[in-house]
Structure 1
């Protein structure tokens, strides 16, 4: 049996390890207060809308997407919306009884989202009409990926599906190795190269799968499990992996931040870093946020630690992203923290509403999603 546990529960369980029956209370760790900033930079909001909130202890992987000068958003109660020039163009209810739990992604004329029942929906970008629906074997809790006319989706039981982007026909399914105990989370598939998709798993491995045939071309371990208990051995790669040229960068929960050189088939470096978020990678550096709220920077080639910021400890940090020349990290209070990527110093902040669950940079703009359903787009001044 495959047991999925929410990330917040895993943290609490780990904190309880070693406590005796005479110590039943676990004091909640207070988040660090935000430090005062002098002449703080701010971001400029360019779009905002609101959708329904998700559960505080298990926020969903809901994100915005853009394609063909349109912006697409998803509501956890089941609606997919399209905006153009900040005006709603259409809104489509996918199902009446089952909300959406993952998405949205857009490309090749369609918009794709999935739900807890394992239903995958492909909608026409221009009209919002549901072009096709497909039933998968388990809940869909990570956004899909569109490549070479295929929609690649990972269900929560470890099956990787490919569907025809236009018709929804299932073309192949690849069965990943199952694990008995893992976080309730799943990294989204990404492009490994023009012909292959990369999928990270709960057992600390990544797989490169041919988009057309469904044949695995690559298998590599990127995180090693340690510890005596099931919780202590959790090393899920739930943060999306990142490709930078020939380098594959992954971060694992209670595992390692690892850079692999896929051309030379070797590990370039690995650091003990616990993270459930996608790292940010530039041509020179790797940036990561840890489960306890540190922001770390490492040299991409050598693995040398460049700096460490501990000012935002226990603030439930989001994935870091580069917006222009600034590194941006969201937190539990909806604060977008601007960081100098060369020093790690906090240099500015802006504010939205709710625990920030997803940051994406698309065409030089910052796309923000929060647990309370505040969706917004920002840019530098």
Structure 2
């Protein structure tokens, strides 16, 4: 498979549209730019015979992402999205009708999180804004740091994560801060979205720079357990970057996670004990269900692993170096977006291409989401596109 070099760090920066390293940025990127790798040229798209008919059913717009990553979120049949200019929108995914649209008085760096009743977004200065079911602002609070990860809303809490890895929990009704959890610091880390996932109503799962995964008590902010997904390797600090990427998944009794320059694997959600692990490297994250764990590696190769034993079932390299998003499972297909604005659909059982649609030329950096039978993706210029299989 081959682990990424410093060129991979530069590629990750391009994927995010912003700086990828939080510390010593100038020296790292200077080192990266001095190495050219012809293998990083995007693989040209080739013609194929589609076997899945995918059609656009509506579109909307919410505002440009700028240098940040804005991913929509689906709750039931509704889709929530936000843009850097402070715009937040709620859309009925079935009809494409806007339910409400508002603009907070701030530039945003993260959004959006919602449980359908409350919706939260993060401002550039660390302010979290919480909106009610009608879109009106209920409260705001400060998380004491830059927010680049969408807030997690539910179980009576609004959880906010800042760039330094600190997770702060607020009472969802009042905005009162309840607790703060911070993992050990590392010299360098990826400047990327590292999501959080509820584990029932008692814990939140989160990954951290340095390669660790933790289950945190929702009531107290203490860790039930913390375990390494992988360990840093290499000589230089750049080579030792080993962050958990994306949000951990929770399927049944297992949680799965992937690291940059590390491993992909699944763990017992109750104890953190490893179930299986394989060498892997991703800065985008993964997705999973009862039978499969799927991720996109640094070379934009998509791999599906058997969720039970960790054996790789297939790998698709047809989109290599096209700066793919993390995958999204859509029935019998897997969808990934690319930097040129295409949304590709792969057959779940074989990994072969079955459909392709073009959103727009601004590129897709965030994974698609599924609301009912509708697939929704947000382009970097803020345009939102919805598709359905016919």
TM-score normalised per structure 2 = 0.87
Q: Counterparts in 2 of 1:262-281, with a 5 A limit?
A: 262-263=269-270, 265-281=272-288
Picking from 88, 109, 126, the partner of 2:98 is 88
After superposition, give the CA deviation of every residue in 1:167-224 in whole Å (9 maximum; x if it has no partner). Answer: 2111111222222211112411111232101111111111211112222111111121
Q: Counterparts in 2 of 1:338-357, with a 5 A limit?
A: 338-353=345-360, 354-357=362-365
Q: Show structure 1 runs of 5+ residues with no match.
A: none
Aligned to 1:164: 171
1:38 to partner: Cα distance = 1.5
Question: For the Cα contact (< 8 Å) 1:186–1:201, is it kept in 2?
Answer: no
Q: Tell me the number of residue pairs that the alignment of Structure 1 and Structure 2 aligns.
A: 367
Question: For the Cα contact (< 8 Å) 2:77–2:372, is it kept in 1?
Answer: no
TM-score normalised per structure 1 = 0.89
Change in CA separation of 1:180 and 1:340 when aligned onto 2, cut-off 3 Å: same
Q: Does 1:246 align with 2:253?
A: yes
Change in CA separation of 1:363 and 1:223 when aligned onto 2, cut-off 3 Å: farther
Greater mean deviation of Cα atoms: 81-90 or 330-339: 81-90
1:41 to partner: Cα distance = 2.4
Question: For the Cα contact (< 8 Å) 1:76–1:100, is it kept in 2?
Answer: yes
Q: Distance in 2 between matches of 1:363 and 1:304?
A: 30
Aligned to 1:332: 339
Greater mean deviation of Cα atoms: 108-117 or 248-257: 108-117
Other structure's SS at 1:357 match: coil
Q: Distance in 2 between matches of 1:208 and 1:263?
A: 8
Other structure's SS at 1:183 match: coil
After superposition, give the CA deviation of every residue in 1:323-380 in whole Å (9 maximum; x if it has no partner). Answer: 1211111111211111111111111111101321222223343221222222122222
Query: What's the Cα RMSD here?
Result: 2.5
Greater mean deviation of Cα atoms: 157-166 or 310-319: 157-166
Aligned to 2:215: 208
1:37 to partner: Cα distance = 0.7
Question: For the Cα contact (< 8 Å) 2:113–2:151, is it kept in 1?
Answer: yes
Q: Show structure 2 runs of 5+ residues with no match.
A: 1-8, 14-18
Aligned to 2:53: 42
Q: Distance in 1 between matches of 2:329 and 2:138?
A: 35
Picking from 184, 197, 213, the partner of 2:191 is 184
Q: Does 1:113 align with 2:124?
A: no
Aligned to 2:330: 323
1:15 to partner: Cα distance = 9.5
- Structure 1 residue runs of 4+, over 4 Å off? 9-19, 66-70
Question: For the Cα contact (< 8 Å) 1:140–1:154, is it kept in 2?
Answer: yes
Q: Does 1:376 align with 2:385?
A: yes
1:125 to partner: Cα distance = 2.0
After superposition, give the CA deviation of every residue in 1:65-93 in whole Å (9 maximum; x if it has no partner). Answer: 34475432212111212334433343322
Q: Distance in 1 between matches of 2:382 and 2:330?
A: 22
Question: For the Cα contact (< 8 Å) 1:248–1:262, is it kept in 2?
Answer: yes
